[in-house]
Amino acid sequence: MSFQNPVFIPGPTNIPESLRKACDMPTIDHRSPLFGQILHPARASVQKILKSKCAEVFIFPSSGTGGWETALTNTLSAGDKVLAARNGMFSHRWIDMCQRHGLNVKIVETPWGQGLPADHYEEILTADANHEIKAVIATHNETATGVKSDIAAVRKALNAAKHPAMLFVDGVSSIASMDFRFDEWGVDVAVTGSQKGFMLPAGLAIVGFSKKAMEATKTGTLPRTFFDVHDMAKGYANNAYPYTPAVGLMNGLNQACDMLLREGLENVFARHYRIAEGVRAAVSAWGLELCAANPSVYSDTVSAIRTPDGFDATDIVTHAAEKYGVAFGVGLGEVAGKVFRIGHLGSLTDVMALSGIATAEMCMADLGLNIQLGSGVTAAQEYYRGHPAVAQKDAA
Ligand SMILES: *Cc1c(COP(=O)(O)O)cnc(C)c1O
């Protein structure tokens, strides 16, 4: 395996040199105003990236999965009903976590490759006249299938049903890469991690709580200690944590947010869309199909690509690692062996994407798939030539 090549897994993502340096810090007193100078700006910047003016941001030494647990355990009680669709491995895992915490999950089985069924949610929520459903848990970007869901539509379904359930959104592979609107969509808890759109090593769970979610912490009785947001808030008031924070990662987060905000969020989203369109042009030139059912659900951070029947898609990933030192993502769960994934999020340029597309082509040709070398690269090149990158605004 080469450390020189970019990775094309959908997280962890490539770490820019400046962020690697930002994480590499001498020890400081993590209960001191100096730590506060890292902590408070990081929380304020995350709030901006969530497009929120009111979200309370908490940052745990953990990963995205810990963010799921933070959302559930702070706001809900055993036996509470929650509504969730299962359309991939990540939505499946969050559902599994709900069940392990004794929540009663109303699961809407959804074909892998499709988005969350907001219309069906409206029916279910309308029928729930006694408001037994306490939360809708939604995976914004299903990383296993490369499917983006319409969170605004889920909010609309809740409003149309005049239902007071909270809306929890997993934005682990969308936040900081694809448009995410905490306030406008009426999100109550947003969950992400450090190692995808934020371009950092794994190690932080990053969550935003709405006022309503903070209110729910007063009635929720699920046990919580490590992920207790009130303990955390008390620590923050004293420039500290209830335990030892990951100071270097927090410093990295601060700088990552600065980078993203300097580029401009809309420019970041446009860059991801443009790179993704090039990858999709390549897939189409190969004569292959995405797992995502139609363009309205195409993810701009990861593409899951179906390979022909009888071919094990995982072989592409193994071969790419062994022969070319390049990492792609394997298919997970129901689509294991049926798809391979190209992650295209975080610190990535069109030129880097072209190297991934070229490598995927070599692998598929090596393994006997009927792929014309250069076909996908040409399609992506044409797309990138015809759709120049948005000029970066001056940092000042
Ligand atoms: C990566 C990912 C997770 C899990 O995050 P970890 O940081 O690995 O715990 C959850 N949800 C989605 C959508 C993801 O892409």
Sheet holding 81-86: strands in order across?
A: 56-61, 204-209, 189-193, 166-170, 133-139, 81-86, 104-109
From 13, 59, 65, 98, the mutation candidate for ligand 1 (largest count of ligand atoms within 8 A of CB) is: 65
Q: Which residues have C-beta atoms less than 6 Å from ligand 1?
A: 11, 63-65, 90, 139, 141, 143, 170, 172-173, 193, 202
Residue 390: C-alpha distances to residues 185, 356, 395 (Å): 27, 22, 14
Cis previous bond, 12, omega within 30: yes
Q: How far apart are CA 10 and CA 314, in angstroms?
A: 15
Residue 110 is predicted with a pLDDT of 98
CA of 107 relative to ligand 1 center, distance in Å: 20
Q: Residue 367 is encoded by which pair of tokens?
A: 């393994």
Note the pLDDT of residue 319: 98
Query: Which CATH code, of 3.40.640.10, 3.40.1160.10, 3.30.450.70, 3.30.450.40, is assigned to 17-261?
Result: 3.40.640.10
Say how many Å lie between the CA of residue 70 and the centre of ligand 1: 14
CA 359 – ligand 1 centroid, Å: 25
Q: Which two tokens stand for residue 83?
A: 């509504």
What's at 199, amino acid-wise?
A: M
- For position 3, what pLDDT does the model report? 87
Compute the distance from residue 382 Cα to the ligand 1 centre, in Å. 33
Cα of 173 to ligand 1 centre, how many Å?
Answer: 7
> What local confidence, expressed as pLDDT, does residue 47 receive?
98
The amino acid that residue 241 corresponds to is: Y
The CA 92 to ligand 1 mean position distance, Å, reads 11
Residue 196 sits at φ, ψ, to 5 deg, of: -120, -100
Please list the pLDDT of the chain residue by residue as tens digits (396 residues).
678 999 999 999 999 999 999 999 999 999 999 999 999 999 999 999 999 999 999 999 999 999 999 999 999 999 999 999 999 999 999 999 999 999 999 999 999 999 999 999 999 999 999 999 999 999 999 999 999 999 999 999 999 999 999 999 999 999 999 999 999 999 999 999 999 999 999 999 999 999 999 999 999 999 999 999 999 999 999 999 999 999 999 999 999 999 999 999 999 999 999 999 999 999 999 999 999 999 999 999 999 999 999 999 999 999 999 999 999 999 999 999 999 999 999 999 999 999 999 999 999 999 999 999 999 999 999 999 999 987 655 443
Parallel/antiparallel/unpaired status of strands 289-290 and 302-306: antiparallel
Domain limits, the chain: 17-261, 264-395
The pTM assigned to this predicted structure is 0.97
Q: Write out pLDDT tens, residues 234-274.
A: 999 999 999 999 999 999 999 999 999 999 999 999 999 99
**Lookup: tokens for 314:** 């995982």
- Looking at domain 264-395, does it have CATH number 3.10.20.30? no
Spatial CB neighbours of 30, under 8 Å, sequence gap ≥ 6: 240, 241, 244, 245, 247
Q: How many CB atoms lie within 10 A of CB 97?
A: 18
Residue nearest to atom 12 of ligand 1 (CA): 172
pLDDT digits (tens, 9 = 90+) for 181-190: 999 999 999 9
Euclidean distance between CA atoms 257 and 273, whole angstroms: 19
Q: What is the pLDDT of residue 2?
A: 77
Q: What is the pLDDT of residues 208-231, one digit of tens each?
A: 999 999 999 999 999 999 999 999
Report the atom number in ligand 1 closest to the C-alpha of 139. Answer: 13
